[in-house]
Amino acid sequence: MDIGLHLFQDTKPATIWCCFATPHHIRFFSDFIMRTLEVGLCKGRHEIKNNMGDEVDEFIFEDIENPLDFDVLEGQASDFLHEIHEVREIELLKLYITGLTPALTSFLALAQTWTGKITLMHYNRDTDRYVPQYYQNWM
């Protein structure tokens, strides 16, 4: 298996990406130099495997009894953000979207105060892979 090193410039100004590519796998250099955490939004909605085939088994919301209880959702999101910032010192969060819009909006509303980068990972049914959306603090 050949491993190549490729440098290219993203569409965002002054952003240089370095990735290590094999025929089916791409890893961005930012994943190697930043404390990165991959999590799913809601546990139990879908089995999640990242584009490398690894299972994503950590979630922001473990159990949601009432998806319209925004105070509870925002409390859980706040606890999660405190954990990844203060305790684990995560710098890049890759969030695999599993549906349930109230959970997503509750998390994103509170995440605005976090200084880390957030990449939202959206599932593409046609390719059976996730597509990144560079959401927060990538500029």
- Give just the sign of the alpha carbon dihedral 111, 112, 116, 121: positive
The pLDDT assigned to 133 comes to 95
pLDDT (average), residues 74-97: 93
- What tens digit of pLDDT does each residue of 115-125 get? 999 999 999 99
The pLDDT assigned to 26 comes to 45
Residue 7 above 60 pLDDT? Answer: no
For the chain, which residues make up each domain, given as ranges?
1-29, 34-136
Q: Which residue has the higher pLDDT, 1 or 81?
A: 81
Q: Which residue has the higher pLDDT, 113 or 1?
A: 113
Is there a contact between 93 and 41 (Cβ–Cβ < 8 Å)? Answer: no
Residue 6 above 80 pLDDT? Answer: no
Q: Which residue has the higher pLDDT, 83 or 138?
A: 83
Q: Hey, what long-range contacts does 1-9 have (CB within 8 A, 24 or more apart)?
A: none
57 backbone dihedrals φ, ψ, rounded to 5°: -125, 15
Residue 113 above 70 pLDDT? Answer: yes
Average pLDDT over the chain, rounded to whole?
81
